[in-house]
Amino acid sequence: MNANANDASIPEDDKKQAARSTSGTQVTQPIVSFPMDEVRQNSFFFVVSRGGLVSEQPGNRRLRRIIDLFTEPYINARRQDRGVLKQQAFHLLRQQFEFVIQKQVFMRYHERHQSQAVGRQLSRVRLDSILDANGSSIDAIDACDDTDFVRVGEACAFDVVGHLLRDAANELRRKQRLHNHHNHPK
């Protein structure tokens, strides 16, 4: 089932409730998926993946600009305080973005994990988080169009935000070292 832009902001509790019957048992129903055109044209989607097209995604560019606001405080924070900054960034971003992954990308990672193939992998936490966000049903995800995008869960989104924050901090440190080296040669 394809969602419209209004469905992208369904509160997490409502998403969970929609996947359960009143008796608390899992209900088999189509998951919410988002068509490629909708995701590619909207800046409130963050696409979890790699590659050039992902970096050009409007939502990915906007999210990275927000991450950049947290980078310097993250670098200057004591190591034990960085987790608080990561939580703050995550909560702000989770309110503004729908974190998604393309169905065919997820399926490729899931199949690699199942066959224990060598190569780039998604962590078990990320795989489980994506499955959980979609009714814990690989069949429901598989029923979506290959080019559609499906939601990722909280654990995956939190992991991605932490990764982006660390990458941004490392990049800023690298730029600062280059700047200092050029302005203060030995």
Label residue 105 by pLDDT band (50, 70, 90).
very high
Two tokens at 38? 């909708």
Q: Which residues constitute the domain of residue 159?
A: 5-183
For residue range 69-84, list pLDDT tens digits in order. 999 999 999 999 999 9
Label residue 11 by pLDDT band (50, 70, 90).
very low
Label residue 30 by pLDDT band (50, 70, 90).
low
pLDDT score for 181: 67
pLDDT score for 1: 45
Strand partners, 46: 99
pLDDT score for 184: 62
Q: Is 22's pLDDT higher than 50? A: no
Query: What torsion, rounded to 10 degrees, do the Cα atoms 100, 103, 105, 107 define?
Result: 130
Q: Is 36's pLDDT higher than 70? A: yes
The packing angle between helices 82-96 and 58-76, to 10°, is 160
Two tokens at 173? 């440190």
For residue range 117-148, list pLDDT tens digits in order. 777 778 889 999 999 999 998 999 999 999 99
Label residue 27 by pLDDT band (50, 70, 90).
very low
Task: Please choose, from the candidates 53, 52, 61, 44, the residue with its C-alpha nearest in 3D space to the C-alpha of residue 10.
Answer: 44
Two tokens at 27? 């209900």
Q: Are 157 and 99 in contact (CB under 8 A)?
A: yes
Contacts of 124 (CB under 8 A, 6+ apart): 113
pLDDT score for 44: 96
Mapped to the 3 state alphabet, what secondary structure does the chain carry? CECCHHHHHCCHHHHHHHCECCCCCECCCCCCEECHHHHHHCCCEEECCCCHHHHHCHHHHHHHHHHHHHHHHHHHCCHHHHHHHHHHHHHHHHHHCEEEEEHHHHHHHHHHHHHCCCCCCCCHHHHHHHHHHCCCCHHHHHCCCCCCEEECCHHHHHHHHHHHHHHHHHHHHHHHHHHHHHHCCC
Q: What is the pTM of this model?
A: 0.77
Domain count, the chain: 1
pLDDT score for 56: 87
Higher local confidence (pLDDT), 183 or 37: 37
